[in-house]
A and B are shown apart, each in its own frame.
Chain A
Amino acid sequence: MSRVRRHADNPAHALPGDDPEHEPRARHGRAPDVMRLGGWTPMREHGEDEPVDFVIVGTGAGGGTLAAKLAEYGFSVVAMDAGPYWRPLEDFASDEMHQSKLYWTDDRIVDGENPLQLGANNSGKSVGGSTVHFAMVSLRFRPEWFKSRTLLGYGTDWPVDWREMWRYYDEVERVLAISGPLTYPWGPKRPRYPYRAHELNAAARVLARGAEAMGIAWTESPIATLSAPRGLAPPCVYRGFCTSGCSTNAKQSVLNTWLVRALAAGAEIRDLAMVGQVETGADGRATGVRYHREGRWRFQRARNVVVAGYAIETPRLLLNSASARHPDGLANSSGLVGRYLTVQANQAVWGTSAEEIRSYKAPPSLAISEHWNYEDHGKDYHGGWCYMAQGPLPTLWSSTLATGHDLWGDALVAEMQNYNHSVGLKNVGEYMPQARNGVTLADETDQYGLPIARVTYSWCDNDRAQNAHARAFMGEALAAADVRDIWEQTNDTCHLNGTCRMGDDPCTSVVDADCRSWDVDNLWVCDGSVFPTVGGVNPSLTIQAIACRTADRIRDMAARGELDRRARPPARERAR
């Protein structure tokens, strides 16, 4: 097809000449240029015996963002990721099954009354983390959620102020060039989104029609995919494979935003680098990380270690780093490492429309209502939820019908032929933090010989009450939009948070407001693990905002000479 015209790159013809899943790309002084086929960009390298200022474990929304900011502030940074360093233009197929290579598919054991489904919708194994396959929905917390215990009567207060977070949200929204509406219907004023909202697809119009019939507000979702060109990235072409990885670079992931900045500022990124332990010295402080790369175990010295592996791998690494001095795992004097894992509801209603919907086109969640995040009346439970339009691709849709609607055999084959008329609404809801939910170590080990995670989850009565309300309301909204044969999907959850909660009391939290471990003052945790509560919105924007705040705090503490030791007792820190 000679009619394909592009500036420099033509992904129609080129296959990568190497195997990024088995051979590291970021080495020998260069890293992949993710914007160009076969491209490279210079990368500063650090010796393993030379202690770097920060070694960061994980390069997703927390670690990748922090790597960029710290490098720009002049710190020496090595950021490691267990996953490959992709060039989306050449490595990504338009294929759900193949693209499962983006997910963390190593074994994890799940149990509890409501065992989680992990992998596809909540765990990434790539440089850039799960932002490489996230659905790009970029929402701010409702301000009250940062003080939900005090203001709303449930959960735990965060040790940060919403007004400060609001400023960091501004920063992240600009970095990701979020496309969104001119005015946002809920919450305090915010600036207009940097890029204009995307055209609504048919599935989003169904949400809008239903919300208007129910008398509640809706809007175009703020999402991290371009609605106009930006540098070498084209606007979104609405191919709809967002959760299988964006092969055009329209998606503004950590891979093609923050990490590009990190490299330019002198950070080193090591792909296919699995960290097994954070090591500590005689004084109890972290000395670096033991990691596996290119077939052998290695050690990187560092003045500070940041663990940013998300809510399962982060506590797993800290628990696997137990030593004589830290027998229950690192940073775990509170006993809370791994506890209070808090996922979010992902309840859905589905049905059939007379119109052709074809929700495989465009990002899946182009329209949203946050009504029930900001309305506290009419609920018999704590917490909020939003709901969004959906766009499941065929394999996901078939498993939804099979496990959520009990279809198999001829009945499944028959219903799948209604795919183009199928439409649904799905929520992201705030489950309650519970001490019994969490991550522990299993007896089994993985390919590196490291004990794997055991992930335990059970809903509480509040979670179930919220699920019931959300399904009933969304069902009414779907019916009001003339959708028929409506059924409820009750078996899904999404997003992983908690397990190393932040707080202002070392007895009831793992890290302080700056994401700094109470126990080991040169150890930090920077990812969704630090969330004490999860709110009713997707967490990625908040994780990045927390990372930006942490970077600024580290810069300020370094300037005051407070990085080498905790300068003030926690009580004074709390009074600030």
Chain B
Amino acid sequence: MAPLLRTEDVHKRYGKEEVLRGVSMCLEPGETKVIIGPSGTGKSTLLRCINRLTEPDRGRIWLEEQEVTARKASINRLRADIGFVFQDFNLFTHLTSLENVRLGPLRVRRLGRPQANRTALEALAQVGLSDKTKSYPAELSGGQQQRVAIARALAMHPKLILFDEPTSALDPELIGEVLEVMVRLAKSGMTMLVVSHEMGFARSVADEIIFMEHGVIVEQGPPSRMFKAPTQARTGEFLRKISELYGEAD
């Protein structure tokens, strides 16, 4: 069976700076992979290239059999199948939670209003926010906003969801509720590609950890091996540093 997502030699440069220097990876259905690495090494750029919010300069990307990077790809249809959760939520400010979550099913999937409503309510229930359907983003905490954003992605019934540092903009006490939702999702079989520094999350749910630096994948493997016996010196160094920082020393 073909992998759900495959990238091949993806390159991206901004001006003089080469942010991605040939990234190849794949993701099987139901897998969760966590991308870690120092800031500025192209992790977020890679995610954005996958649904072409950023156009890669070179390389190819496939979602199942369809090539995302093909010139004639119907990018909007492909994006509808790829959920994206942003670091700073990006909920639509003028819409309530329900309207935020319902927009995709209603306007992109073109389900009827009753069905779009049902889908949206289900998604909000999945993130535990059934009681906040009428709240506007500004009336919600950061954690709640991010959960609505996850519901917005879920309501599209995507084939995979990309998470771009979903907890980095949150106060420490709000991170837990978001991670909890993500853990549940991963365990329910959602395919997820997550850029995150949450080592606890990576350790407990990731099928594989991908360590990136300077625009390339340095090493990847299951968390048990990556944490215990990384083959690359840099990986070990980075993991030690981040574990100290986040109090996850082992």
Instruction: Tell me, yes or no, whether A binds B.
Output: no
User: Which residues in B have some Cβ–Cβ distance to A below 8 Å?
Assistant: none
User: Which residues in A have some Cβ–Cβ distance to B below 8 Å?
Assistant: none
